[in-house]
A and B are shown apart, each in its own frame.
Chain A
């Protein structure tokens, strides 16, 4: 399967527990992005990572959320002490490159998402 793989597809947590969402980018892609979608809304950027580096985390809540993309293995979005407001669909995307030149387009390819439900 050459696509962006996310797991689990569905995750149920009780308030106060931790949620770990995993994302394996497309083969050959070294740039990973995480987005969150609340019901009836568009996707909101959270964080942009390259291998072992966080490039831009301007969309991440200041507390309880963290992300990593280690040298080996998938990218992980971690939410500590989940609250009901964290219930959403979390999408990961990948691209083969980052910055493009004038007139260029960097296409991000998305996974199927993880639907987090906090009870």
Chain B
């Protein structure tokens, strides 16, 4: 039962353009969502979060949008930079239980 899904295993974007990573979920009781970035052989690094009571959160080049009716969130990175090449994970808090449910990840490649 995959409650958090990232349907695109990979995404390739040209440097300077916008990267849009998508995430769908099935559980309407998730309290908040987080995006993590992961380089090979390293741990996930927190990027940005959004509470379920909001529909947008912005931090520098990163913006997360939440559409509760569609049970969909997206991460926008603009402009994309070579250092953004990594695997991005969407995660949701399981009804305040303090255990994160992760998607499978999307590998983002930024091409020069």
Surface stretch bound by B, among A12-20, A38-46, A76-84: A38-46
Residues 52-71 of A, flagged 1 when their CB comes within 8 A of B and 0 if not, give 00011011000000000000
A43 touches B44 (CB 8 A): yes
B99 touches A58 (CB 8 A): yes
Q: Is the CB of A102 within 8 A of B53?
A: yes
Contacts of B69 in A (CB 8 A): none
**Cβ contact within 8 Å between A33 and B34:** no
Is the beta-carbon distance between B103 and A45 smaller than 8 angstroms? no
- Looking at chain A's contact residues, is the secondary structure mostly helix, strand, loop, or mixed? loop
- A103-B51, A110-B44 known; A42+B104 contact, CB < 8 A: yes
Q: Is the CB of A109 within 8 A of B89?
A: no
Chain B positions near chain A (C-beta within 8 angstroms) = 4, 6, 31-32, 34, 36, 41-46, 49-51, 53-54, 89, 91, 93-94, 96-105
A residues whose Cβ falls under 8 Å from a Cβ of B: 4, 6, 31, 33, 35, 40-45, 48, 55-56, 58-59, 91, 95, 98-100, 102-113, 115
